[in-house]
Amino acid sequence: MTSIITSTQEEIAAMRIGGKILADVLAHLAMMVAPGVDAASLNTEAEALIAARGATPLFLGYRPDGASSPYPATVCVSINDEVVHAIPYKGKIIMDGDIVSLDLGVRYNGMCVDSALTVTAGVVPARTQKLIAVTKKALYEGIAVVRAGARIGDIGHAVQSCVEREGFSVVRELAGHGVGHHAHEEPMILNFGKKATGELLIAGMTIAIEPMVTSGDWRIKTDEDGWGIRTMDGSLAAHFEHTVLVTKDGYEILTEA
Ligand code: MF3
Ligand code: CO
């Protein structure tokens, strides 16, 4: 419970550089998303762009506790009802009207950063645009309460209020997390909760805040490959994530261009 991990100035400097690299690569991938594009080509491009910038993929070969197999790709490409962690299989083609979540992690000078975003391919209905916009807004409202002395529940409360105000749902069984020396560290950052509850944020902590939001119910199920996670009711899901440094007076978003 109390193993709060903070980073040194040198480690934070590495995460700043890694974060810029990640933001740049993710922006490139987002621009590639269009009807007819193969998910595997996004993965190939991600690998090339990361290597060209002197970083290494964080998710490739990553095996969290309890996972039956290591993750086989560099970027997660989750389409429509897929919430997160979907594998970018060759022949998985993005269609007109799809929403596509890209989740990417890189390691630079030993330090890890993690970020995700959702974009559209072609034309989508207004309510779908709204789902994406609200998920992004929820991430930034969650980030806005970050400062030394705030609590994890403040973040969850900010995210949940933003999402539910608009009639959408937050996924409950997945959460944000500490990140830095490892892809996933303590503390767990729930996307729902009560103000002034949970662990205290301390200056020097680096955390990944990542609302996963659905247009229907929040319940999820795992695909047969053990990785892809989708909504139980088939409703659409969006996902935004940033790695954020906690500071004395606020925060610094490390995975922004
Ligand atoms: N951003 C994802 C998360 O925090 C990272 C997934 S790692 C993977 O859950 F290897 F499982 F893809
Ligand atoms: Co994450």
pLDDT of 16-43, one tens digit each? 999 999 999 999 999 999 999 999 999 9
The set of protein residues with a Cβ atom below 6 angstroms from ligand 1 is 59, 62, 71, 76, 85, 103, 105, 114, 116, 177, 208, 241
CA of 104 to the centre of ligand 1 (A): 8
CA of 210 to the centre of ligand 2 (A): 6
Name which of 40, 28, 178 is nearest 114 in CA terms: 178
Question: H/E element holding 30?
Answer: helix 9-32
40: buried, middle or exposed (CB in 10 Å: 19+, 13-18, 0-12)? middle
Question: H/E element holding 82?
Answer: strand 82-84
Read off the pTM: 0.97
pLDDT of residue 1: 38
Ion ligand 2 neighbours (CB, 5 A) are: 114, 208, 210
pLDDT of residue 4: 60
Ligand 1 pocket mutation, candidates 42, 56, 71, 82, criterion most atoms within 8 A of CB: 71
- For residue 151, CA distances in Å to 98, 188, 193 come to 36, 12, 10
Chunked mean pLDDT (size 10), the chain, 257 residues: 72 98 98 98 98 98 92 98 98 98 98 98 98 99 98 98 98 98 97 98 98 98 97 98 98 97
pLDDT of residue 2: 42
CA of 85 to the centre of ligand 1 (A): 6
**Domain range annotation of the chain:** 9-253
CA of 189 to the centre of ligand 1 (A): 14
pLDDT of 171-181, one tens digit each? 999 999 999 99
Between CA 257 and CA 237 the distance in angstroms is 25
Would you tell me which CATH number, out of the four given (3.90.230.10, 2.40.10.340, 3.40.50.2000, 3.30.2320.30), belongs to the domain 9-253?
3.90.230.10
